[in-house]
Amino acid sequence: MNEETIIRTAVVTGGSRGIGRAICVALAKQGCNVAVNYCHGEAAAAETVTLCKAAGVDALAVQADVSTAEGVKTLFEKAVNAFGRVDILVNNAGITRDGLLLRLSEEDFDKVLDTNLKSTFLCCKEAARRMVRQRYGRIINLSSVVALRGNAGQTNYAASKAGLIGLTKSLARELAGRNITVNAIAPGLIETDMTAALPEAVRTEMAKGIPAGRAGQPEDVANAAAFFAAEQSSYLTGQVLCVDGGMAM
Ligand code: NAP
Protein backbone atom coordinates (compact mmCIF):
# COMPACT_ATOMS: atom_id res chain seq x y z
CA MET A 1 0.00 0.00 0.00
CA ASN A 2 1.27 3.46 -0.92
CA GLU A 3 0.64 5.41 2.25
CA GLU A 4 1.36 8.74 0.59
CA THR A 5 -1.55 8.54 -1.82
CA ILE A 6 -4.16 6.35 -0.16
CA ILE A 7 -6.10 7.19 2.98
CA ARG A 8 -7.20 3.89 4.48
CA THR A 9 -10.87 3.36 5.28
CA ALA A 10 -12.10 1.43 8.30
CA VAL A 11 -15.56 -0.06 8.84
CA VAL A 12 -16.28 -0.59 12.53
CA THR A 13 -19.48 -2.42 13.49
CA GLY A 14 -21.11 -1.22 16.70
CA GLY A 15 -18.99 1.92 16.73
CA SER A 16 -21.53 4.07 18.53
CA ARG A 17 -20.29 3.43 22.06
CA GLY A 18 -18.06 1.39 24.35
CA ILE A 19 -15.16 -0.53 22.83
CA GLY A 20 -16.36 0.17 19.27
CA ARG A 21 -16.23 3.92 19.79
CA ALA A 22 -12.72 3.72 21.26
CA ILE A 23 -11.61 1.66 18.25
CA CYS A 24 -13.10 4.21 15.81
CA VAL A 25 -11.17 7.00 17.54
CA ALA A 26 -7.93 4.99 17.67
CA LEU A 27 -8.14 4.24 13.94
CA ALA A 28 -8.98 7.87 13.20
CA LYS A 29 -5.84 8.87 15.11
CA GLN A 30 -3.96 6.43 12.84
CA GLY A 31 -5.21 8.54 9.92
CA CYS A 32 -8.05 6.30 8.71
CA ASN A 33 -11.43 7.48 7.49
CA VAL A 34 -14.06 5.65 9.52
CA ALA A 35 -17.53 4.29 8.77
CA VAL A 36 -19.13 4.15 12.21
CA ASN A 37 -21.87 1.53 12.21
CA TYR A 38 -24.65 1.55 14.79
CA CYS A 39 -27.99 -0.14 15.25
CA HIS A 40 -30.06 1.99 17.67
CA GLY A 41 -27.78 4.74 19.01
CA GLU A 42 -28.00 7.50 16.42
CA ALA A 43 -26.92 10.29 18.79
CA ALA A 44 -24.07 8.20 20.21
CA ALA A 45 -22.85 7.35 16.70
CA ALA A 46 -22.92 11.05 15.78
CA GLU A 47 -20.74 11.71 18.83
CA THR A 48 -18.24 9.06 17.68
CA VAL A 49 -18.17 10.71 14.24
CA THR A 50 -17.37 14.06 15.88
CA LEU A 51 -14.54 12.47 17.88
CA CYS A 52 -13.08 10.90 14.73
CA LYS A 53 -13.29 14.14 12.75
CA ALA A 54 -11.46 15.90 15.59
CA ALA A 55 -8.53 13.63 14.70
CA GLY A 56 -8.48 15.21 11.22
CA VAL A 57 -10.09 12.42 9.18
CA ASP A 58 -13.48 11.93 7.60
CA ALA A 59 -16.13 9.81 9.31
CA LEU A 60 -19.69 8.74 8.61
CA ALA A 61 -22.37 7.15 10.80
CA VAL A 62 -24.21 4.27 9.12
CA GLN A 63 -27.34 2.76 10.63
CA ALA A 64 -27.51 -0.96 9.90
CA ASP A 65 -28.44 -4.11 11.78
CA VAL A 66 -25.41 -6.26 11.02
CA SER A 67 -27.14 -9.44 12.17
CA THR A 68 -28.97 -9.37 8.82
CA ALA A 69 -27.58 -9.76 5.29
CA GLU A 70 -29.59 -6.72 4.19
CA GLY A 71 -28.09 -4.57 6.96
CA VAL A 72 -24.55 -5.63 6.09
CA LYS A 73 -25.12 -4.89 2.40
CA THR A 74 -26.36 -1.39 3.29
CA LEU A 75 -23.38 -0.78 5.57
CA PHE A 76 -20.80 -1.61 2.90
CA GLU A 77 -22.65 0.20 0.12
CA LYS A 78 -22.73 3.39 2.19
CA ALA A 79 -19.13 3.07 3.35
CA VAL A 80 -17.85 2.46 -0.19
CA ASN A 81 -20.01 5.25 -1.64
CA ALA A 82 -18.52 7.65 0.89
CA PHE A 83 -14.88 6.57 0.93
CA GLY A 84 -14.34 4.42 -2.17
CA ARG A 85 -12.69 1.45 -0.43
CA VAL A 86 -12.55 -0.75 2.67
CA ASP A 87 -9.10 -1.48 4.09
CA ILE A 88 -9.90 -2.34 7.69
CA LEU A 89 -12.92 -4.19 9.05
CA VAL A 90 -13.50 -4.40 12.79
CA ASN A 91 -16.27 -6.82 13.74
CA ASN A 92 -17.13 -5.37 17.12
CA ALA A 93 -20.95 -5.33 17.36
CA GLY A 94 -22.05 -7.70 20.07
CA ILE A 95 -24.78 -8.41 22.57
CA THR A 96 -25.40 -10.67 25.55
CA ARG A 97 -28.62 -12.49 26.48
CA ASP A 98 -27.45 -14.34 29.58
CA GLY A 99 -29.15 -17.24 31.33
CA LEU A 100 -28.39 -20.72 32.57
CA LEU A 101 -28.82 -23.29 29.81
CA LEU A 102 -31.97 -24.88 31.19
CA ARG A 103 -33.69 -21.51 31.09
CA LEU A 104 -32.09 -20.15 27.93
CA SER A 105 -34.59 -19.73 25.10
CA GLU A 106 -33.91 -20.72 21.52
CA GLU A 107 -34.66 -17.12 20.57
CA ASP A 108 -31.93 -15.77 22.88
CA PHE A 109 -29.47 -18.36 21.57
CA ASP A 110 -30.17 -17.40 17.94
CA LYS A 111 -30.16 -13.65 18.62
CA VAL A 112 -26.70 -13.78 20.19
CA LEU A 113 -25.29 -16.08 17.50
CA ASP A 114 -26.72 -13.89 14.72
CA THR A 115 -25.49 -10.62 16.20
CA ASN A 116 -22.03 -11.77 17.31
CA LEU A 117 -21.06 -14.50 14.85
CA LYS A 118 -23.23 -14.42 11.72
CA SER A 119 -22.68 -10.66 11.42
CA THR A 120 -18.95 -11.29 11.30
CA PHE A 121 -19.35 -13.94 8.58
CA LEU A 122 -21.50 -11.54 6.53
CA CYS A 123 -19.20 -8.53 7.02
CA CYS A 124 -16.07 -10.57 6.27
CA LYS A 125 -17.64 -11.68 2.98
CA GLU A 126 -18.43 -8.11 1.93
CA ALA A 127 -15.01 -6.83 3.00
CA ALA A 128 -12.96 -9.75 1.64
CA ARG A 129 -14.44 -9.35 -1.87
CA ARG A 130 -13.00 -5.85 -1.98
CA MET A 131 -9.80 -6.58 -0.06
CA VAL A 132 -8.88 -9.45 -2.40
CA ARG A 133 -9.17 -7.07 -5.37
CA GLN A 134 -7.04 -4.50 -3.53
CA ARG A 135 -4.61 -7.19 -2.37
CA TYR A 136 -4.68 -5.47 0.98
CA GLY A 137 -6.73 -5.70 4.13
CA ARG A 138 -6.94 -5.98 7.89
CA ILE A 139 -9.80 -7.82 9.59
CA ILE A 140 -10.12 -7.70 13.37
CA ASN A 141 -12.76 -9.71 15.24
CA LEU A 142 -13.86 -9.07 18.82
CA SER A 143 -13.95 -12.36 20.67
CA SER A 144 -13.79 -12.67 24.48
CA VAL A 145 -11.92 -14.49 27.23
CA VAL A 146 -15.12 -16.47 27.82
CA ALA A 147 -14.44 -18.16 24.46
CA LEU A 148 -11.32 -19.62 26.05
CA ARG A 149 -12.54 -20.24 29.61
CA GLY A 150 -16.31 -20.59 29.35
CA ASN A 151 -18.68 -18.78 31.70
CA ALA A 152 -21.73 -20.16 33.50
CA GLY A 153 -24.82 -18.38 32.21
CA GLN A 154 -23.25 -17.52 28.86
CA THR A 155 -23.41 -20.68 26.75
CA ASN A 156 -24.83 -18.68 23.85
CA TYR A 157 -22.34 -15.80 24.16
CA ALA A 158 -19.33 -18.08 24.73
CA ALA A 159 -20.32 -20.24 21.74
CA SER A 160 -20.53 -17.14 19.53
CA LYS A 161 -17.16 -15.86 20.73
CA ALA A 162 -15.47 -19.26 20.39
CA GLY A 163 -16.96 -19.50 16.90
CA LEU A 164 -15.27 -16.21 16.08
CA ILE A 165 -11.88 -17.70 16.91
CA GLY A 166 -12.43 -20.61 14.51
CA LEU A 167 -13.66 -18.20 11.87
CA THR A 168 -10.65 -15.93 12.41
CA LYS A 169 -8.07 -18.70 12.04
CA SER A 170 -9.77 -20.29 9.04
CA LEU A 171 -10.16 -16.98 7.21
CA ALA A 172 -6.59 -16.02 8.08
CA ARG A 173 -5.46 -19.16 6.23
CA GLU A 174 -7.72 -18.37 3.24
CA LEU A 175 -6.55 -14.78 2.86
CA ALA A 176 -2.92 -14.75 3.99
CA GLY A 177 -1.60 -15.05 0.43
CA ARG A 178 -3.56 -11.95 -0.59
CA ASN A 179 -1.85 -9.64 1.91
CA ILE A 180 -4.94 -9.66 4.14
CA THR A 181 -4.54 -10.35 7.85
CA VAL A 182 -7.31 -11.68 10.10
CA ASN A 183 -6.87 -11.52 13.87
CA ALA A 184 -9.00 -11.62 17.00
CA ILE A 185 -8.95 -9.76 20.28
CA ALA A 186 -10.23 -11.45 23.42
CA PRO A 187 -11.02 -8.77 25.99
CA GLY A 188 -11.53 -9.63 29.64
CA LEU A 189 -13.67 -7.42 31.86
CA ILE A 190 -13.89 -3.99 30.23
CA GLU A 191 -15.91 -1.10 31.66
CA THR A 192 -18.72 -0.43 29.15
CA ASP A 193 -22.53 -0.46 29.10
CA MET A 194 -22.35 -4.22 28.52
CA THR A 195 -20.59 -4.90 31.81
CA ALA A 196 -22.38 -2.08 33.68
CA ALA A 197 -25.48 -4.23 33.27
CA LEU A 198 -23.90 -6.91 35.49
CA PRO A 199 -24.73 -6.84 39.22
CA GLU A 200 -22.04 -5.05 41.27
CA ALA A 201 -21.35 -8.27 43.23
CA VAL A 202 -20.64 -10.19 40.00
CA ARG A 203 -18.25 -7.52 38.75
CA THR A 204 -16.42 -7.42 42.09
CA GLU A 205 -16.10 -11.22 42.07
CA MET A 206 -14.81 -11.16 38.47
CA ALA A 207 -12.26 -8.46 39.29
CA LYS A 208 -10.81 -10.74 42.00
CA GLY A 209 -9.81 -13.20 39.26
CA ILE A 210 -7.87 -10.55 37.32
CA PRO A 211 -4.15 -10.48 38.16
CA ALA A 212 -4.10 -6.74 37.34
CA GLY A 213 -6.75 -6.36 40.04
CA ARG A 214 -9.05 -4.12 38.02
CA ALA A 215 -11.30 -3.94 35.00
CA GLY A 216 -9.92 -2.59 31.72
CA GLN A 217 -11.00 0.46 29.73
CA PRO A 218 -12.29 0.53 26.13
CA GLU A 219 -9.05 2.26 25.13
CA ASP A 220 -7.04 -0.78 26.29
CA VAL A 221 -8.85 -2.86 23.65
CA ALA A 222 -8.68 -0.09 21.06
CA ASN A 223 -4.87 0.00 21.39
CA ALA A 224 -4.77 -3.70 20.46
CA ALA A 225 -7.04 -3.09 17.46
CA ALA A 226 -4.82 -0.22 16.32
CA PHE A 227 -1.81 -2.54 16.65
CA PHE A 228 -3.39 -5.19 14.40
CA ALA A 229 -4.48 -2.49 11.94
CA ALA A 230 -1.06 -0.86 11.73
CA GLU A 231 0.99 -1.11 8.54
CA GLN A 232 3.81 -2.66 10.59
CA SER A 233 1.59 -5.65 11.51
CA SER A 234 1.50 -7.15 8.01
CA TYR A 235 3.16 -10.44 9.08
CA LEU A 236 0.74 -11.05 11.96
CA THR A 237 -2.29 -13.19 11.18
CA GLY A 238 -4.55 -15.82 12.77
CA GLN A 239 -3.75 -14.61 16.29
CA VAL A 240 -5.94 -14.19 19.35
CA LEU A 241 -4.70 -11.43 21.61
CA CYS A 242 -6.08 -11.38 25.16
CA VAL A 243 -6.52 -7.88 26.56
CA ASP A 244 -7.56 -8.90 30.02
CA GLY A 245 -5.11 -7.87 32.74
CA GLY A 246 -3.90 -11.46 32.83
CA MET A 247 -7.33 -13.04 33.42
CA ALA A 248 -7.14 -15.89 30.91
CA MET A 249 -3.50 -17.00 31.19
P1 NAP B 1 -21.67 -2.30 24.32
O2 NAP B 1 -21.16 -1.17 25.14
O3 NAP B 1 -22.89 -3.01 24.75
O4 NAP B 1 -21.84 -1.79 22.80
C5 NAP B 1 -22.31 -2.67 21.83
C6 NAP B 1 -22.23 -2.03 20.47
O7 NAP B 1 -22.71 -2.99 19.51
C8 NAP B 1 -23.11 -0.80 20.35
O9 NAP B 1 -22.43 0.17 19.58
C10 NAP B 1 -24.33 -1.33 19.60
O11 NAP B 1 -24.95 -0.35 18.79
C12 NAP B 1 -23.71 -2.37 18.71
N13 NAP B 1 -24.66 -3.36 18.22
C14 NAP B 1 -25.36 -4.29 18.93
N15 NAP B 1 -26.15 -5.00 18.11
C16 NAP B 1 -25.94 -4.53 16.86
C17 NAP B 1 -26.46 -4.86 15.57
N18 NAP B 1 -27.36 -5.83 15.43
N19 NAP B 1 -26.03 -4.14 14.50
C20 NAP B 1 -25.12 -3.16 14.63
N21 NAP B 1 -24.60 -2.80 15.83
C22 NAP B 1 -25.00 -3.48 16.92
O23 NAP B 1 -20.54 -3.42 24.16
P24 NAP B 1 -18.96 -3.38 24.44
O25 NAP B 1 -18.74 -3.77 25.84
O26 NAP B 1 -18.38 -2.12 23.92
O27 NAP B 1 -18.50 -4.63 23.55
C28 NAP B 1 -17.99 -4.50 22.22
C29 NAP B 1 -17.55 -5.88 21.76
O30 NAP B 1 -16.54 -6.39 22.64
C31 NAP B 1 -18.67 -6.92 21.75
O32 NAP B 1 -18.51 -7.79 20.66
C33 NAP B 1 -18.45 -7.65 23.06
O34 NAP B 1 -18.98 -8.96 23.01
C35 NAP B 1 -16.94 -7.65 23.14
N36 NAP B 1 -16.44 -7.84 24.50
C37 NAP B 1 -16.73 -6.96 25.48
C38 NAP B 1 -16.24 -7.18 26.77
C39 NAP B 1 -16.50 -6.23 27.92
O40 NAP B 1 -16.09 -6.56 29.05
N41 NAP B 1 -17.16 -5.10 27.72
C42 NAP B 1 -15.48 -8.32 27.03
C43 NAP B 1 -15.21 -9.19 26.00
C44 NAP B 1 -15.68 -8.95 24.73
P45 NAP B 1 -26.29 0.47 19.23
O46 NAP B 1 -26.04 1.01 20.60
O47 NAP B 1 -26.39 1.52 18.20
O48 NAP B 1 -27.42 -0.48 19.18
92-144 pLDDT, tens digit per residue, is 999 999 999 999 999 999 999 999 999 999 999 999 999 999 999 999 999 99
**C-alpha separations of 96 from 10, 75, 198, 220, 231 in Å:** 25, 22, 11, 21, 33
**C-alpha separations of 151 from 50, 148, 158, 227 in Å:** 36, 9, 7, 28
Query: Is the CB of residue 87 less than 8 Å from the CB of residue 136?
Result: yes
- Which residues neighbour 4 within 8 Å (Cβ) at sequence distance 6 or greater? none
pLDDT in tens, 230-247: 999 999 999 999 999 999
- Which residues neighbour 242 within 8 Å (Cβ) at sequence distance 6 or greater? 145, 148, 185, 186, 187, 188, 248, 249
Give the nearest ligand 1 atom to 18 CA: 26
Q: Would the pLDDT of 210 be above 80? A: yes
Shortest CA distance to 164 belongs to which of 66, 240, 85? Answer: 240
pLDDT in tens, 17-61: 999 999 999 999 999 999 999 999 999 999 999 999 999 999 999
Ligand 1 atom 1 nearest Cα:
194
CA of 18 to the centre of ligand 1 (A): 7
Does residue 157 carry a catalytic annotation? yes
To the question of pTM greater than 0.85 for the whole model, the response is yes
**C-alpha separations of 124 from 42, 85, 181, 239 in Å:** 24, 14, 12, 16
Confidence of residue 2 (pLDDT cuts 50, 70, 90): low
